[in-house]
Structure 1
Amino acid sequence: MHDDDRLAGAFPYERLRRYPDVEAPNLQAWDATDLLLAERGMADASERRLAGRDIAVIGDNYGALALRLAAAGFTEVRVHQDLATGREALSRNAEELGLSELQVPCELDGRLLTGARLVLLQLPRGLAELEEYADAVARWAAPDVVLLAGGRTKHMTLAMNEVLGASFEVVAAELAVRKSRLLVASVPRPVPERPPFPVCATHDDVGLTLCAHGAAFAGSRLDLGTRFLLGFLDRMPSGGAVDLGCGTGALAAAYALAHPEAVVVATDRSAAAARSARATMEANGLAGRVAVEHDDAAASRPDASADVVLLNPPFHLGASVHAGAGLRLIEAAARILRPGGELWTVYNSHLDYRRQLRISVGRTSIEGQSGKFTVTRSLRRP
C-alpha cells in the first residue's frame, strides 16, 4: 500500500473538483500535503480531545482539509480561503459529499482564530503571506495552540522556519512523507501592538501609494507590467471602469485619479488583494470613490455595464504555469464591456493573448511594446 493510499483512508478525495476554478489534466483539487495535514491534524485533535470548533484551517485550496475533517466528525471547523474560486469549490464539494454547512467560513481575523488550539496551514509560497498568517495565529489563537504547516518539500525553504520562529518559540520540522513535510510551531511569542500588514510604499514617479497584505502579488511594489500600462492612461476614455484582477489596486487608483468624474470598481478573486486594494484607496484619498469587490472574474458585475476594463492577467495558477486564469478574465471582460467599450490589457509579449482578445472581445490593436510587455486596446464588438 502506498503512503497516499494509507493517508487517504476511505475519504473520496478523487471526487473533489476545482470548479469554478480552471480544471485541466495537470491540475487536481488535492495533493499529498492535504493528506498529511489531515491525518496529522486528526491524530493531534483526538489525542488532545479537541472538538471541531477548536480547529482552524488556513489555505484549504478547494476544501480537501475541511471536508476530510468533517467526514471524520470534526464539524464547526473555522476555515479561511483566500480565493473566491476556492470558497465556491468548497461549497460545491461539500454539497456533493453531503457535508454542507458543517464548516464556518471566516476572513483572516479574530473570528477565525480566537481560542483556536489547532491550526492547519497549507504553506504559501510567499514569505510575506506566511508572516501574516503566523502573526495572526500568535495574536489570536489560544496559548497552547499547535500550528501544523505543511507543504511540498520542493517548495519549502529554511526561511520558512525562520519566519515561523519570529512568532513561535518552538518550530520543528518532521520527516517528509511522499515529498511533503510538516513544520510544527507552538508557544506563541508576544506580538507587536499593531499587525505587520498591510505594508505601504509611496511611488512618487506615478503619484501612488500602494498597500499590500501578505498574499498580494508583488507586495507594495509596482510590478513592471502595471507600470508599463500606466503609461497609457492618457489614451483611455473616461467612463465607468473596472480594474479586473486588481491586485493592490494600482490601476484602479491611477485611473480614478486621472478621471475624477469616473465611477471605478476594483475586483479580485483574492481576499488579500481586495483588502490590499481597499487600503490603497484609503491611502490615496479614494476610499469613497472606488468600490472594491472580492469576486471571481467580476461575476457580480452586470453584462455590458463597463465603458473601460483594465487588465493585467496572470499566467500562473499556484505553482503551475497555466494560461487559463488569464483567458477567464479576458472572457469576463468581454461580458461586462458595453458594445464599443475598451479593454486595455498588458501581458508578457511571448503569450498569444492578442489572438484570444480578438476572438473574445473584438478588434485588437497593439498600442505599445517594451522588451518584455505588450499593451493592447480591444474594442467590444456590438
Structure 2
Amino acid sequence: MPDFDFRALRRFPDVEAPNLQAWDATDELLVRWALDSGVPGDEVAVIGDEYGAITLALADAGVPGIRVHQDLITGRRALAHNAAALGLSGWTSHELGADLLAGARMVLLQLPKALAELEEIADAVARWAAPDATLVAGGRVKHMTLAQNEVLARRFGAVQAQRAERKSRLIVASEPLAVPTEPPFPVRQVHDGLTLCAFGGAFAGARLDIGTRALLDAMPGLSAHFAPQLRRNGADRVESAGSGQGSGQISGVVAGDAMQVVDLGCGTGALAAAFALSHPDAVVIATDRSAAAVRSARETMAANGIDGRVQVTLDDAGSELPDASADLVLLNPPFHLGASVHEGAGQRLIQAAARLLKPGGEVWTVFNSHLDHRRALSRDVGATEQVARTPKFTVTRSVRRG
C-alpha cells in the first residue's frame, strides 16, 4: 500500500479536538482492499468518506475517476480543504443515486451509525450499481452488530465478514439481489396532523424524537410571545399586497418586513413545518448539514402542503445566511459527532444562532438537561431562561444582546 500520510488530514470545518481525528484504521483497510482488487477508478464509488481519507489516499495512489458521496456538507468541505492542502484531485462528487452508482463494480462504505441508512445504501447499490458489484463496508468493531449483516443480506446473496485488524473489520457483500420496484425511502409518519418524511440517513427517521416533542409542546407559549409581531407582519403583508408594492425576496419566498425564522439543524423539518403551518405570514428557512436531512425536510414540507413557503437548504451551521437576519431561531442541537458523544456540534450551532439573530431576537433551544448548553447560550447569545423541562430535556429562551 502506498505511503499516504493520513495524519496530514484535518476535520476542518467540522469540530476539531485532540481526541477527534480525520481518519481511522477502517479507512486504511478500505483503501488497501480497493488497491489490491485492481478495479479501475471509474468503476469505484465511495460512500461515507467522512473527511476524505479514502478518496484522497486512492487519488494519491494514482486511481482516477472515483465517484464520491458524503452526506454531510462539513465532510464535503473538509475533503475540498484537504485536497487543496495536499494538491490532489481526480474524483467527482454525487448525491446518493444512479449518477453515483451506475456501472460501479466496487463500492467502498464507511458503515453508518443507523441501520436505516445502511438499508437505503444497500438498496441503492443493488438497484443502480453493476450486476456484479461488490459492496465492501467497514467499521470499528465496537460499533458493529450482526444486525448490519442482516440488513446487507436482504440485498446481497453473499455477505462475508473479514478478520478484524487494528480494531476495525470489513464486511464484503456480493451477488446483488433483485430489488422492489420502488425504493424503500422516504418513509412517512403522521404525528397529530403533522406528516414527517425521512430518508435513511435522517436522525430519528420519521419518528418525532422526544427533544423535538418537548420544543413543539412549548410552541404555544412561543407563539403567544411573538403574537404582536406576527399580527403586525400579517397586516403589513395585506397592506403591501393591496398597494401593489413589491416585497423583498429570499430565494423566491416573500420577505418584506415579515418575521424571519430559522430552523437551525432542521433534521426532517418538524419544527419548521409546525411553525410555518401555525404562522403563514412568517418566512421560515430550514437548514441542515446533512443531505439526507435536507431531502427529508423537503419531502416533509411537500407532504404538509408548505413547500412553497419554507426554504430548505444544505448548509453548515447557517454559514450562507446573513448575519443579524433572524427574529427567531429554533434549535434542537445534536450531542454526537459521529459515534462520539461531544458537545462541540451543539456549541457550534449556538454560536451560529448568535450570529444569525437580530439584536433582541430570540433562540428557543431544547437540549439534554445534563449538557452545559445553558451556560453557552448565556455567554454567546444573551440572557437565557428556562421555559419548560421534562425528565430528560430542557427548553430555554435566549434573547440576543444588542
Q: Please state which band the TM-score falls in when normalised by the shorter chain.
A: over 0.9
Question: 1:266 aligned to 272, 286, 291, which one?
Answer: 286
In structure 1, list runs of 5 or more residues that go unmatched. Answer: 1-6
Counterpart position of 1:229:
215
C-alpha distance in 2 between matches for 1:84 and 1:52 = 23
Letter in 2 for 1:374: T
Q: TM-score scaled to structure 1, two decimals? A: 0.95
Instruction: Kindly indicate whether the alpha-carbon contact (under 8 Å) linking 1:270 and 1:294 is maintained by their aligned counterparts in 2.
Output: yes
C-alpha distance in 1 between matches for 2:369 and 2:114 = 25
1:235-250 alignment to 2 at 5 Å?
Answer: 235-236=221-222, 237=226, 238=230, 239-250=259-270
C-alpha distance in 2 between matches for 1:350 and 1:66 = 38
The answer to whether residue 46 in structure 2 is matched with residue 53 in structure 1 is no
Structure 1 residue 58 displacement after superposition: 0.2
Question: 1:99 aligned to 68, 88, 94, which one?
Answer: 88
Structure 1 residue 372 displacement after superposition: 1.3
Moved >3 Å (runs of 4+): none
Structure 1 residue 234 displacement after superposition: 2.3
1:1-382 alignment to 2 at 5 Å?
Answer: 9-44=2-37, 46=38, 50-100=39-89, 102-204=90-192, 207-236=193-222, 237=226, 238=230, 239-382=259-402
Letter in 2 for 1:31: D
C-alpha distance in 2 between matches for 1:41 and 1:76 = 13
Deviations 1:327-382 (A, max 9, x none): 00000000011111110001111111111111111111111111111111111111
Instruction: Kindly indicate whether the alpha-carbon contact (under 8 Å) linking 1:344 and 1:375 is maintained by their aligned counterparts in 2.
Output: yes
C-alpha distance in 2 between matches for 1:176 and 1:350 = 36
Select the structure of larger CA radius of gyration.
2
Deviations 1:53-110 (A, max 9, x none): 110000000000000110111112000001010000000000111103x110000111
C-alpha distance in 2 between matches for 1:128 and 1:171 = 18
Deviations 1:262-312 (A, max 9, x none): 110100001100011011111111111111101000000000111110000
Letter in 2 for 1:18: R
Q: TM-score scaled to structure 2, two decimals? A: 0.90
Letter in 2 for 1:314: P
Instruction: Kindly indicate whether the alpha-carbon contact (under 8 Å) linking 1:267 and 1:295 is maintained by their aligned counterparts in 2.
Output: yes
Structure 1 residue 42 displacement after superposition: 1.1
Report SS of the residue matched to 2:355.
helix
C-alpha distance in 1 between matches for 2:123 and 2:210 = 30
Q: What is the root-mean-square deviation in Å for CA atoms of aligned residues?
A: 0.9
C-alpha distance in 1 between matches for 2:146 and 2:367 = 33
C-alpha distance in 2 between matches for 1:141 and 1:182 = 20
Structure 1 residue 51 displacement after superposition: 2.0
Identity over aligned pairs, percent: 65
C-alpha distance in 2 between matches for 1:112 and 1:231 = 41
C-alpha distance in 1 between matches for 2:142 and 2:382 = 42
C-alpha distance in 2 between matches for 1:310 and 1:183 = 40
Paired residue total: 368
